[in-house]
Chain A
Amino acid sequence: MNNDNVKELEDLVELSEAVQSMHEDGLRDNIVKDIYETAEYITKKVVTKKSQRKADIHKKVDDILTSRILGYPIMILLLGIVFWLTITGANYPSQMLASFFFWFETKLTSLFMYMGSPEWLHGILVLGIYRTLAWVISVMLPPMAIFFPLFTLLEDLGYLPRVAFNLDKLFKAAGAHGKQSLTMSMGFGCNAAGVIACRIIESPRERLIATITNNFVPCNGRFPTLIALSTIFVGGLVTSRYSTLAATSFVTLLVIFGIIITLVVSWILSKTILKGVPSSFTLELPPYRKPRIGRILYTSLIDRTIFVLGRAIVVAAPAGLVIWILANVMIGDMSILNHLAALLDPLARTIGLDGFILMAFVIGLPANEIVVPIMIMSYMSKGTMLELESLAQMKELFIANGWTFVTALNVMLFSLLHFPCGTTLWTIRKETGSFKWTLLSALLPTAIALAVCFIVAQGARLLGLV
């Protein structure tokens, strides 16, 4: 019995080798062709097509949106429109919220005075926690409440897969996976969510590339920073009539710069430590769908806006407390905050920042949302007391502390490129299961941020701009 089986198998192997010559003259192609022809024959018999104008319109729209020439400009234009609506729309409610919160702060202060509470308690609760929260909410809430519904609308319409289709070629050329553009889009919402979305990439090599580079798209925690700074510094460069347009274009440029960095880093990674060939995949474009307004508002406002804001508040409240303590506990004749800032100052200066800014980024590790509030608080604690009720006053505060256009540019670049926030790092650790890759995901962006800011700062210095 056993011998028979051995014989059978050996004969089979022999037979298969004998047949080898057969398929060399194209029999394999014949088999496939025959199957295709049969499928075509059956399809013709059972399928009737009524020329539906709707399907034709879909195809025409797709031809335009994913065309070689128009694809990218349309993409950039749409991105620009979304930012423009966000910046224009967020300005007024932001100021309203801010003035409301600071009106309420004076009431709170009077209440504390009336109750005769000690100075430090008022400091911690009102100037520390409350003020930070007020800033986070009034700066973040309005842009998010506009940006997220718009982004969800594009998602619901079916535009995002077209973005992936457009970018597919670029990512392939960078040795990465086409789906990376989708995980990148998720990163606009939240980098931690973007990192989790990398699961859709099957190949471990390409998944790692997507994970490490996800940080280069600004999440909503960094958008308000970019939007606020480009509104006051870039928008301020031109006449007020074009200031929104200038600010919008600049934020769009920053995002494109982030995407270019993503591609460059992906390419470098795929040529060095993550060598390999990009795996192919078939991207199917789903049909355009009529957006469901109710669902868009629900997912964008409840799932995203409130969720992100809630997280920011949870992180910002204790951070406000810590910063107030750092700013008010004195060692010698300087606060701890000033000591730390002085320590970081030399490094910060070479990359066009100052000690307070760099420290804000470091302390802001738990959440990017609180970086600007930390800067404001630390500047204010130096004695430059200001009632911060509008972006204009924020600009005055920054300029009073030695900011120039180049400083603002470097802050934006650093914010775009620096290490991911604590939540994202923790997610990377969980997703990759490796401390080594997590460390690289933190160090690589930081090194790039330092290098880019160094080049910009030194370049500006050489050109005599500062």
Chain B
Amino acid sequence: MGLTCESCGRGVLKKKFNLKCGEEYVIALAGNPNVGKSTVFNELTGLRQHTGNWPGKTVVNARGNYDYKNMKFLLMDLPGTYSLLANSVEEQVARDFICFGKPHATVVVVDATCLERNLNLVLQVMELTDNVVVCVNLIDEAERKGIFIDIRELESELGVPVVATVARDGKGLEELKRRIFNVAVGIQTPSSRKMKYSERVEEAIREIEPKIDKLLKGKLDARWVALRLIDGDKTIVDAIHEHVYYEKAIEIDGRR
């Protein structure tokens, strides 16, 4: 495949997240707390897991490996969060990994019994990357409660692959691996639904997006950064500083 850190622009993974990024695909696993994210993680990776801390944070991180179609996959278990708005260290860690780590695909595990609340996170992840696979877990529990989800319809609404699973029983995980493979390798290029905001927000975005684009020169999605600034997110400038200008920033400090 000839896929290396340098060739895919994922040097930051190695530098910032201590990842051994060789000939393997990096997959991020996101989701709300208590949706069976860890079960999905365990079922996919089995015993091939390591745990540690996120660099500089007291948040536990778990990573594991699995093989599919002779390809190696590295699965990063992100902290369980309800949003990516960086309200807590966990949310910040999850956001930074998806945003700056640029994994080949991001799997968002959602709870079928309360889809609506879980979709908030899916929508926010899709603002950051197109390479999203949604895993609708606990589908059996939802059906017992009389909740039925039209998976095909959800797929067309979101514009990304959606897989229904019962991770506890291992149901749907083969399909999940297949869809992750397709997205990560590039067989399928999802075009995720982009959030349209109300006019006041869109107006504000139009005002500052060009300025940001000029500054960042395509290193990050300008619309997303604009939204964060409008949002009043204090951490985003630091995060860009840290992750995008990291090396240069050190030189600057040295010179002063």
Contact = CB atoms under 8 A, between A and B. Distances in A.
Interface stretch (B18-26, B44-52, B171-179, B200-208): B200-208
Contacts of B5: none
A19 B204 CA distance: 9
Interface string A29-51: 01111111011101101111111
B252 interface: yes
A23 B146 contact: no
A284 interface: yes
B69 interface: no
A67 interface: no
A39 B120 contact: yes
Interface stretch (B6-14, B93-101, B149-157): B149-157
A42 to B, nearest CB: 5
B227 A11 contact: no
A20 B232 contact: yes
Contacts of B208: 15, 19
Given A16-B229, A28-B230, A45-B157, A38 B123 contact: yes
Contact of B200 (A30, A45, A282): A30
Contacts of B230: 19, 22-23, 27-28, 31
B231 A28 contact: yes
Q: Is the interface of B mostly helix, strand, loop or mixed?
A: helix
B158 A42 contact: yes
A96 interface: no
Interface in B209-236: 211-212, 215-216, 227, 229-232, 236
A52 B148 CA distance: 11
Interface in A240-265: none
Please classify the interface of chain A as helix (H, G, I), strand (E, B), loop, or mixed, using the class held by over half of its residues: helix
B215 A15 contact: yes
Contacts of A54: 144-146
A39 B110 CA distance: 13
Contact of B195 (A5, A38, A46, A52): A38
A49 B146 contact: yes
Interface string B108-145: 00000001110110111000000000000000010011
A34 B212 contact: no
A13 B237 contact: yes
B119 A39 contact: yes
Given A9-B245, A16-B237, A30 B232 contact: no
B26 to A, nearest CB: 26
Contacts of B123: 35, 38-39
Counting chain A CB atoms within 10 Å of each CB, which of B196, B215, B249 scores highest?
B215
Contacts of B211: 11, 15
B198 interface: yes
Nearest to B117: A39
B147 interface: yes
A12, A45, A51, A54: residue with the most chain B Cβ atoms closer than 10 Å: A12
A164 to B, nearest CB: 14
A12 B198 contact: no
B248 interface: yes
B204 A34 contact: no
A29 to B, nearest CB: 10
Given A5-B248, A19-B230, A23-B230, A34 B197 contact: yes
A27 B229 contact: no
Contacts of A39: 116-117, 119-120, 122-123
Contact of A27 (B119, B204, B249): B204
A379 B229 CA distance: 77
B148 to A, nearest CB: 5
Contacts of A346: none
Contacts of B248: 1-2, 5-6
Contact of A55 (B34, B145, B151, B204): B145
Contacts of B34: 284
Contacts of A6: 248, 252
A287 interface: yes
B118 to A, nearest CB: 8
A149 to B, nearest CB: 25
Nearest to B153: A46
B147 A47 contact: yes
B200 A19 contact: no
A8 interface: yes
A282 B111 CA distance: 15
B87 to A, nearest CB: 11
A2 B251 contact: yes
B72 interface: no
Contacts of A45: 150, 153, 157
B11 to A, nearest CB: 16
Contacts of A46: 115, 149-151, 153-154, 157
Contacts of A40: 116
B86 interface: no
A23 B120 contact: no
A22 to B, nearest CB: 6
30 contacts: A1-B248, A5-B245, A5-B252, A6-B248, A6-B252, A9-B245, A12-B212, A12-B240, A13-B237, A15-B211, A19-B229, A27-B231, A30-B197, A31-B230, A34-B198, A39-B122, A42-B158, A43-B115, A43-B116, A45-B150, A45-B153, A47-B115, A47-B148, A49-B146, A49-B147, A50-B148, A52-B144, A54-B144, A55-B145, A284-B33
Given A8-B245, A38-B123, A43-B119, 16 more contacts: A5-B248, A5-B252, A12-B212, A15-B215, A23-B230, A34-B195, A35-B124, A40-B116, A43-B115, A47-B116, A48-B148, A50-B146, A52-B144, A54-B146, A55-B145, A55-B146
In the complex, the 3 A-B pairs of residues with the closest C-beta atoms, listed nearest first: A52-B146, A39-B119, A23-B232
Interface of A: 1-2, 5-6, 8-9, 11-13, 15-16, 19-20, 22-24, 27-28, 30-36, 38-40, 42-43, 45-52, 54-55, 282, 284, 287
